[in-house]
Chains A and B, each alone.
Chain A
Amino acid sequence: MKILTSPLVSNGSFCFKAPDSVRWAYDAPVKSVLLLHQGTSRRFTHGHSGWTEDAGIGAAATSVMLQEIMLWSTGRFTESQGFTAELLAGTAPRIQLRPRDSSLEKIISGIEIIPAPDRPGMIQSIIIREGEGNTTTLDFADVKINVQLEDKLFRKP
């Protein structure tokens, strides 16, 4: 982002439970939880008065991303309503997503999904390009698969 001299780094956790539950949580610098569960997305942030539900600005756009990430997490790249997918093979293979229509392109110009080289079927990074040199990169570390995730994880904190 041009207004920044160095990336603003947030840390948190990302949980996916088949078929359609996602929890995208940050611990710092702003404590927040974005949930997608049983077809409904909600965002909560932790402020001076505890956990409160966000009104939705930005959350709607982020929820679209959440839906997409859920598809990518299960390898269903071609099922996306918003993006076309192309596999770029090579020494550093990646999946390149492009928005299907111009209205979405104004928000997100493209996405790259980089598979984990040492973990077949897993995602190492997602690079979201917003145009004008603005990018958001999600790096996944300490990935655990087939662990028990309780339903309460995907409800209001």
Chain B
Amino acid sequence: MPDRIKAQVRWCCVISALLLCACASPYRPMPVNPSGPEHRERCRLLFPVAPVRFINAIEAQLPDGKKMTLIGITVIDPGGRAVRAAIMTIEGLLLFDASTRNDVITLYRALPPFDGPEFRRALLRDVQFLLLPPAGEPQQYGILNNGSSICRYGLADGMAIDVIVHPDNSWELQEYKNGSVATRIAKGTAAAGGLPGIVVLQGLQPQPYSLQLRPISAEPAKPGDAK
């Protein structure tokens, strides 16, 4: 296989980005101590309730240890569970632009190596994971031993997501399958000054990667902006 193709395949595997650990470790979801509905509300309020546009600096570390920084623009419409996401270079060259609604992806622009169908699915899935609450109501909610609020959502295909909001308003999202294998973890600092906090996303399955998102701006958007 030519080196150029090998490199593109490697980049596509990295998809949304970087390697933090060599393999996924076994994962044990934390026990939920059932408690009042205020904990469910804290989980719900972690996610935007109205359309919003975020611009982030995205710092990614590649499997070979190299790093890259890009600018990400995301518009979400929580009501329609719609997302539009774009990636551009720091100098302004648009590399990727796509949206999704009802699991239908519309691609507006994708330059290599961001032009593969798996990349666009994975990127939009990551944005949905971070910015839209899991579909449906939590199967369990309550409090952890450390005082954090937790909501556990069951999804299809044996997947589950825990939404955890700590007493200092920092937060975690933990996605796992079959009750024990972590697939994605995100950690964020508390919002401050009208901006979301810094977010670190680690994808562990099937390919390990990680992204750090540093907010540049956040502003209200219209539902149609996410198309």
Contacts and interface: CB of A to CB of B under 8 A. Distances in A.
Contacts of A30: 57, 69, 71, 90, 216
A52 B67 contact: yes
Interface in A1-45: 1-5, 8, 10, 24, 26, 29-30, 32, 34, 43, 45
A139 interface: no
Q: How large is the interface on A (under 10, 10 to 19, 20 to 34, 35 or more residues)?
A: 35 or more
A55 B70 contact: no
B130 interface: no
A47 interface: yes
A130 B95 CA distance: 10
7 contacts: A1-B88, A1-B94, A5-B221, A10-B90, A58-B95, A107-B111, A136-B91
A54 B91 contact: no
A34 B53 contact: no
Contacts of A8: 55, 71, 73, 92
Interface residues of B, number: 35
A66 to B, nearest CB: 9
B129 interface: no
Contacts of B57: 29-30, 47
A26 B84 CA distance: 26
B225 A128 contact: no
Contact of A128 (B69, B92, B95, B109): B92
A54 B67 contact: yes
A58 B93 contact: yes
Interface string A93-135: 0000000000000110000000000000000000010111010
